[in-house]
Structure 1
Amino acid sequence: MGLLEGRTALVTGGSAGIGLAAAVRLAAEGAHVFITGRRQAELDAAVETIGPSATAVTAVTGDIANLDDLDRLYEAIRDRGRGLDVLFANASVASLVPLEEVTEEHFDALFGINVRGTLFTVQKALPLLNDGASVILNGSTNVDVGDEALGVYAATKAATRSFSRTWANELKGRGIRVNTVTPGPTDTPALSALTSTPDRFKEQLAARVPLGRLGHPEEIAAAVVFLASAQSSFITGSSLYVDGGLNQI
């Protein structure tokens, strides 16, 4: 406990799933955590969840695909006057759409949030990032496989993986580390929302994982805390797989 005492962290998409679990852990380790998301009711519930273990939490409603919303978010962080030590660019969306059914709307929605939104989330944070800060991008094991109907989503995650390598190189002069956390199938509301038969879908996914189950958001959050803290001080540009061995063995 206390790995991030006195630090300031931001988790985008911090109201549910992996983002919420990460916010809970970062707060438990002593960070003041800012969370953002598109739905106020979910943010309010997240604050209640984080609250008991948090030194402090601040929720700011917004969409990372909207640059004005990002400006409002960073203004709130700037007003606190402590800069930013940890940025977990977690917010992303996914949907199952096979190649023949891909539309402009589907493509633009996924690339708008997962790629454009992630890029400007990090770019607009640069003036606030303290030297030695840690930036963590949320990746996916879909980058490495060709799962049907996830082609556009996988392409967005391949883009963010590439970003983490380039940005690690560009920001090394300030001691800022940039890494990707790469979850395998994880039991989140977003996973359930991908299909009308979530229980069957989860069973099928779990059967492919060497450890025989889906991941828990808290397990991904533990990896985020590791990458956020000095325990990973010699790691940058990497992708940390938290996938139950799915893409490893």
Structure 2
Amino acid sequence: MKTLLLLPLLFISSILLSQTMGMEEIEHQDISIWETTSVKDYGNVYHFGDSEWEYSLVIVVLNPNNIIAYKVQGHFNDNATAWIHDYEHLNDVKIEGSKFYSKEFNGEFATYKGKTKGLKMFDENESFTSKEYEFGYLSYTLKQYLKGKFPTASYIELDKSTLQQFDKFDLQIMRNEIFARYGYIFKKGGKMESYFTTQEWYSAEHKNVNSFLTTLEKRNIKLIQEVESTK
């Protein structure tokens, strides 16, 4: 009986201590530094973990001195009928060379077998179940990941001259898309609810998403509102 119990424990232990990407076990010697001449190349979405432990790390690089990063995880609602997304901001984010730093955890941008780009996150707080690091692969560009008609409002600093080219309705959609991407529940029967419920990517999940908004998104929302008021 002891032998039978020991085998599954050894199997579980080997999984926890190993690094995998999908079903493939990562060989440490095949990971190398991902070097680039532009820090903006690191601005992407990286996927970590599997199943209920999986999450995405979204990195927005406005310039070398202004970098935003947040984690996207999720949980089932009380009835286990729907998946609810959660968003957690990282603090004091910076990138120096190929190194990633934040108050929560640090890492280094890397490639696997010279072709799969990703981020090697170090186990600063012993949160990876005894693993030395966790490798997250580049799963999406920001343009692919951020849905809607105007996704750039969540990863580029907008300017008034560009916004003046849009009519008032498009500006309303642009502004409210920022909230919709976080699953904001719009007023029932309102114009925005009518619009977003027809969008395949939209999912109504949260009554309030203000704490999810990045500093960039707050800045862009304010600017869009200013231009809207002139239309």
Scaled by the length of structure 2, the TM-score of the pair is 0.29
- Greater relative contact order, per chain length (Cα 8 Å cut-off, separation 6+): 1
Instruction: State which structure, 1 or 2, has the greater radius of gyration over its C-alpha atoms.
Output: 2
**Structure 1 or 2: more helix by fraction:** 1
Scaled by the length of structure 1, the TM-score of the pair is 0.28
**Structure 1 or 2: more strand by fraction:** 2
